[in-house]
Amino acid sequence: MDYVRVMETFAVDQLARRGVSPRDYFFARARIVFRRPCFTGEWYRRAAERLTGPDGEQLLIGTIHAVHDPDRAPAGRPATIVQLLARKSLQSPRTCDKRP
């Protein structure tokens, strides 16, 4: 689904901005929690919050807000909520993040 693809791309960009190499993680699971259709040509804004589980898994909760104008801030409830479970890649070159 495009909702998941849009949120995965946004999450990878956010990880990179925080100094985390996107090659170090992969999205093991995606779940759409709430979806109200967005249509082709509509503007939208994305936001994400990252949470860390007790076992070190990264859970990203992303929202997609429909907006009427590209210059307007999102208002109201999100049109879509997506959960992404990011796990450490086995091909990651960083050994300090791996457990024995």
| Residue 59 CB contacts under 8 Å (≥ 6 apart), including other chains | 50, 51, 52, 53, 83, 84, 85, 86
pLDDT over 70 percentage in the chain: 86
Query: Helix %, strand %, coil % for the chain, to 5?
Result: 20, 40, 40
Region 50-69 average pLDDT: 84
* pLDDT reported for residue 73: 80
φ and ψ of 36, to 5 deg: -115, 130
- What is the reported pTM? 0.69
Domain architecture of the chain: domains with CATH: 2-88 (3.10.129.10)
